[in-house]
Amino acid sequence: MLNKYARAFFTRVLTPFAAFLLRRGVSPDAVTLIGTAGVMAGALVFFPRGEFFWGTIVITIFVFSDLVDGNMARQAGISSRWGAFLDSTLDRVADGAIFAGFALWYAGSGDNNVLCAVAIFCLASGQVVSYTKARGESIGLPVAVNGLVERAERLVISLVAAGLAGFHRTFGVPGIEILLPIALWIVAVGSIVTLAQRVVTVRRESAEADAAGTAARGSGTTS
């Protein structure tokens, strides 16, 4: 849902920056790779140590590369299947690193096996939610559904909560660290709902497509 409304806004905001990078000879693929590396560094260097505020700052800086690289490709007229594949694949890598960072914290100094398991579930369910859409589209279905918690929602909910929770350790704000566990549970439950929405949609669309195919074959036989 957030992706539908926020993406167009940030695309407009980042267009001048994308144009600047193109003038400097930077390629969209380079931005994709650098952005993913930055997100992974922020998640896997800071989060396992409980440095959620600074980790979120680093990730937020680099996560916008997902909008900049596509904007650059469109401005340069070089959009390609390879670029789309690379971008989508590295999005999954970056998302996995964020929730892996949370899991490593709770498996270590955070000392909470339940929340470690929830973070791992968020990681896995996010990958499966993305897979269901990609797989549905690969068999010719539109998968026309806006899920409750898609990638944009997962990132915003988890990163905003992590950044605010980091105020406890970085600035000494009491009680605010509870926001991260709450966010992880919200993402976990929301991912289950989103997965169910996509599965139901694919089942309906596949039944409609099969029925239309059967009707077409029947019409061809009688004619």
Catalytic residue ranges? 91
Q: From CA 160, how far away is CA 173, in angstroms rounded?
A: 16
- What are phi and psi for residue 22, nearest 5 degrees? -60, -40
At CA 190, angle to CA 114 and CA 45, rounded to 5? 55
Q: Rounded to whole angstroms, what are the CA distances from 2 to 81, 120, 174, 212?
A: 25, 23, 30, 33
44 in Cβ contact with 101 (< 8 Å): yes
181 in Cβ contact with 114 (< 8 Å): no
Choose among 151, 51, 47, 57: nearest CA to 95.
Answer: 151
Rg (CA), the chain: 20
180 in Cβ contact with 103 (< 8 Å): no
Q: How far is CA 81 from the centre of its chain?
A: 19
41 contacts: CB under 8 Å, gap ≥ 6: 58
Choose among 121, 86, 91, 125: nearest CA to 106.
Answer: 121
